Amino acid sequence: MTIHSGVYALPIVDLSRAQSADAATRAAFFGDLRKTLHDHGFFYLTGHGVDQKLVENVLATSKRFFKLPLEERLKIEMINSPHFRGYTRVGLEYTRGQQDWREQVDINTESAAESIGPDTPPWKRLIGPNQWPEALPELKPLLLAYQAEVTRVGISVLKAIAAALGQDENVFASTYTPYPSQLLKIIRYPGRDVAASSQGVGAHKDGGFVTVLLQDVVEGLRVRTEEGVWLDAPPIPGTFVINTGELLELATNGYVRADVHDVVAPPPGVERFSVAFFLSAFYEATVPLLDLPEELAAQKRGLTSDPLNPLFREVGRNHLKSRLRSHPDVARAHHSDLLSPEELAKPAVASAY
């Protein structure tokens, strides 16, 4: 295993400072956070209040899932789910045409499936139950408990971001109340004795408000600055890595960017594990455009222009776009009516971005 040591390129943000009784401490916290958000939106988070025993249990149980025989993992393969939930095998996703070397399980908010008719908004097809492995029954209650905790953390971070941008801390509450989108992934990256390249997952952006990433002990995460410099984000025990997503870019007209990042596959004989949580608005929401203070508004950079990844203020439309693109096998099996003849004629190659 490789464990990074030395100076870290990303800032460390102590969330407990946001609730300090000292006004100067709070002001300094929001000033530091505001600078980080504008620079690159990636930082380590401490003071989050998540029980370390829960974190350790989630990582240990996730590793047990990936050690299950392949036939057990395939019982919850995503192709079974019209809601894009479940297991994806190593090498089945691509980013910008290049193969990603990871396997993962996707879960989201646990709910009943919606009744779908000809006039139902297409994004309602994303709502439904998760798939859970019969061979590891303890995974379901554990991941749902963890999902609830990182949802709390993500909303606390989002409130702090709002305050740092000169807004009421609840400015986004109408987009995640009574429930946000709660996409959680447990992920395994095999070493380069298995992977055919160094690409664990290729350069991409996240689609939600914020991502709360739990890393195990093996490094590999990198973030690209506006200047094109790649910064390493190795694990720091007791922290999460937070990064800002496309909804914040939309809400701030580019003052906060959804930052490009990737994961480098670990060395031969080494596995990398992580648990990624993507906090987003509920599907019916529309992302507001914030009225930023004059000094911040002057630093807005506009929205990223990328024909491969158009951004929409309609949250459900953004989510559906992402799911159809990243899992075309599921799209063809369950949602072929949403695909164009051109899309149906192309090879079913997945793309995380």
% of the chain surpassing 70 pLDDT: 95
pLDDT tens for 84-106 read 999 999 988 888 778 899 999 99
Whether 267 maps to a domain, the answer reads yes
Choose the weakest-confidence range: 64-68, 185-189, 255-259, 347-351: 347-351
Of 286, 323, 316, the residue nearest 122 (C-alpha): 316
In a domain, 1, yes or no: no
- The answer to whether residue 222 scores a pLDDT higher than 70 is yes
Residue 7 lies in a domain: no
Confidence at 351, pLDDT banded by 50, 70, 90: low
H-helix or E-strand containing 189? strand 181-189
Mean of pLDDT values over 149-162: 98
Q: Is the pLDDT of residue 5 over 50?
A: no
User: For residue 312, is pLDDT > 90?
Assistant: no
Q: Out of 21-30, 157-166, 283-292, 310-319, which region has the weakest mean confidence (pLDDT)?
A: 310-319
Q: Determine the pLDDT at residue 18.
A: 96
pLDDT at position 240 over 80 = yes
Q: Does the residue 180 lie in any domain? A: yes
- pLDDT for residue 227: 86
Question: Is residue 4 included in any domain, yes or no?
Answer: no
DSSP secondary structure letters along 7-52 = --SS-EEEGGGGG-S-HHHHHHHHHHHHHHHHHTSEEEEE-----H
Is the pLDDT at 261 greater than 70? The verdict is yes
Q: Residue 263's beta-bridge partner residues?
A: 201, 221
Domain count, the chain: 1
Nearest CA among 148, 266, 287, 261 for reference residue 209: 287
Residue 339 phi, psi (nearest 5): -100, 145
Establish whether the linkage from the previous residue to 267 is cis, with ω within 30° of 0: no
* Span 338-347, pLDDT tens digits: 988 877 877 6
The reply to whether 75 falls in a domain is: yes
The residues facing 266 across adjacent strands are none
pTM, rounded to two decimals: 0.94
pLDDT confidence of residue 353: 45
- Given a cut of 80, whether residue 162 has pLDDT beyond it is yes
C-beta separation of 151 from 178 below 8 A:
no
The pLDDT of residue 96: 75
pLDDT score, position 226: 83
Read off the pLDDT of residues 195-216 as tens digits, 9 standing for 90 and up.
Answer: 989 999 999 999 899 999 999 9
Does residue 2 sit within a domain? no
Q: Provide the CA 28 distance to its chain's centre, in angstroms.
A: 28
Expressed as residue numbers, the domain containing 63 is: 12-351
117 in any annotated domain: yes
Note the pLDDT tens digit of each residue in 47-66: 999 999 999 999 999 999 99
State the average pLDDT over residues 237-242.
98
Q: For position 182, which CATH number holds?
A: 2.60.120.330
What is the model's pLDDT at position 7?
55
